[in-house]
Amino acid sequence: MLGNAQEWVNDWYGEVYYAASPEYDPRGPDSGEYRVLRGGAWSNGSLAVRVSDREQGNPGLGSPDYGFRCVGEVLAP
């Protein structure tokens, strides 16, 4: 699924947040101006098309490079 669109995540972006964040499941800062974008879009270079790519994006602006995935539990009949 990488390379289609950068994924919005719920975390606010903090430039130095991960230097002192919890080791497991860091949630990001409590507030901020930008949200985190993960992965890489079709227009990014090969170094950005990876799960660990983390960038900032203004949630008020759209881009053909930004998207999100809807997930849910599949219930057996």
pLDDT tens sequence for the chain (77 residues): 667 888 888 899 988 888 888 888 888 899 999 999 988 888 888 878 888 888 899 989 888 888 887 778 888 87
Q: Which residue in 74, 36, 66, 29 sits closest to 53, CA to CA?
A: 36
pLDDT value, residue 1: 60
Q: Which residue in 12, 15, 39 sits closest to 28, CA to CA?
A: 12
pLDDT value, residue 17: 86
pLDDT value, residue 15: 87
Long-range CB contacts (< 8 A, 24+ apart) of 49-57?
Answer: 49/2, 49/3, 50/2, 51/2, 53/6, 55/6, 56/13, 57/6, 57/8, 57/13
pTM for the model stands at 0.75
Per-domain residue ranges for the chain?
1-22+30-68
Element housing 6 (H / E): strand 6-12
